[in-house]
Amino acid sequence: MKYSPHIIVGETPHDAIEAEWRDLFNQAESPNPFLSTEWVFTWLRHAGPQVFPITLIIRDENEKLVAVWPFFEYPAIGGRGLWAGLADRAYNLNPLFIRNDPELIQATLQNLEQLLTKYRFVWVPLFTDSFVTDHLRPALTAFPNFALIQKRIPAPYIDLTQQKDFESYLENTLGTKTRKSLRYDLKQLEKMGTVEYAVYRTEDEYHRIETEMRTIEKVSWKSREKKALLSDRRTEAFFHELLPRLMADGQVEISALRLNEMAIAFEIAIRHGSYYGFYHIAYLPDYQKHSPGKQLMLFNIERAMNEGCTEFDFMQGEYGFKLKFRTGNRHMMNAFMCQRSFAGRLNYGLARLTGFIRSRRR
């Protein structure tokens, strides 16, 4: 099949393809959940005037949109560079393809050469290792460039297809001491009153729990360590608009652990088909000794199994609780690609000298 590339520059042309982009995401075989129109266009509205969007799109011989890859301009030595769009929000930055067709993927990646004729570098901080190995590295051998490709902290996950049931998962993954400790913590919570779990899936339900989530996050360790999303002035407006839009489209759900009808922990999950993505969690520090975050997480692991999910993805972050509950790791990669020019060589050298990529791990 013949594929034709186009580069979309500026906000107005992006608005013109929003409906096509939505159709592409909805029809894609296994889409990157962070490249839905809700994520991308909400991000563009909140990114500020300093972000100038550049997107590579691919059309097939019938002019149908079959691939998109968003970027934004960034200062570089001797000109401008490109950063992957949503690099500060998303966990996976692989391009969005309508199907996992090697010919389509290569047709998209080969246009990095076109981008590198104008831009000094292209930086993507969160490729999956399999995408880099199977597709990116071969594509980079086809045209002149300088490339730094480095491993990031692995992303733990649970392969739910390998679990007979929830109890066997606990038995095979957690030690006896951990399981006993978690049961004890739950009993102590239950002595304090009525313990309930709730799942919120609609836009109206989001607005009912939003204030509780902000309150929990603001006093939690996430706020102290500047990991807050809903209560941080830099991101709160973005998520205030994004989350109800995602929930209205079935791309996100929120769960909560409630004690005597008061939420003491909440979790935000990315949902798409059989995929469950553990995106964000916070809990009230007053209840920390009872492990409310872990209790809620275990509830959702069991729920994901019962709902036919194939994977519980902890996403990135080498936190102890993720490592304890995982059954495997997914390797993630940074890719910093520079044009083969004097200015490109300077940007490449600076990246190596300063540890540019390594310093931007989440």
Give the pair of three-digit tokens for residue 121.
């570098």
pLDDT at site 297: 96
Whether the per-residue pLDDT at 362 is higher than 50: the answer is no
Fold for 4-152+332-360, please state it. Aminopeptidase (3.40.630)
The model's confidence at residue 356, banded by pLDDT at 50, 70 and 90, is low
Domain over 156-329 is classified CATH 3.30.70.20? no
The answer to whether 276 and 311 have CB atoms below 8 angstroms apart is yes
pLDDT at site 320: 78
pLDDT at site 74: 94
pLDDT at site 1: 77
Locate CATH 3.40.630.30 in the chain: 4-152+332-360, 156-329
pLDDT in tens, 194-253: 999 999 999 999 999 999 999 999 999 999 999 999 999 999 999 999 999 999 999 999
Kindly state the percentage of the chain with pLDDT values over 70: 98
DSSP string, 97-128: ESS--HHHHHHHHTTHHHHHHH-SEEEEEEEE
pLDDT in tens, 69-93: 999 999 999 999 999 999 989 999 9
pTM: predicted TM-score of the whole model, two decimal places: 0.93
pLDDT at site 317: 75
pLDDT at site 360: 46
pLDDT at site 199: 98
- Please count the other Cβ atoms lying within 10 Å of the Cβ belonging to residue 215: 15
Whether the per-residue pLDDT at 359 is higher than 60: the answer is no
pLDDT in tens, 133-188: 999 999 999 999 999 999 988 899 999 999 999 999 999 999 888 999 999 999 99
pLDDT at site 49: 80
Cα 167 to Cα 164: distance, rounded to the nearest angstrom:
8
pLDDT at site 195: 97
Backbone angles phi, psi at 244, to 5 degrees: -65, -30
**Residue 49: partners with Cβ closer than 8 Å, 6 or more residues away:** none
Sheet strand arrangement including 275-283: 195-200, 252-259, 262-272, 275-283, 311-313, 155-159, 328-330
Terminal Cα distance for the chain, rounded = 38
The answer to whether 82 and 336 have CB atoms below 8 angstroms apart is no
Cα 100 to Cα 318: distance, rounded to the nearest angstrom:
29
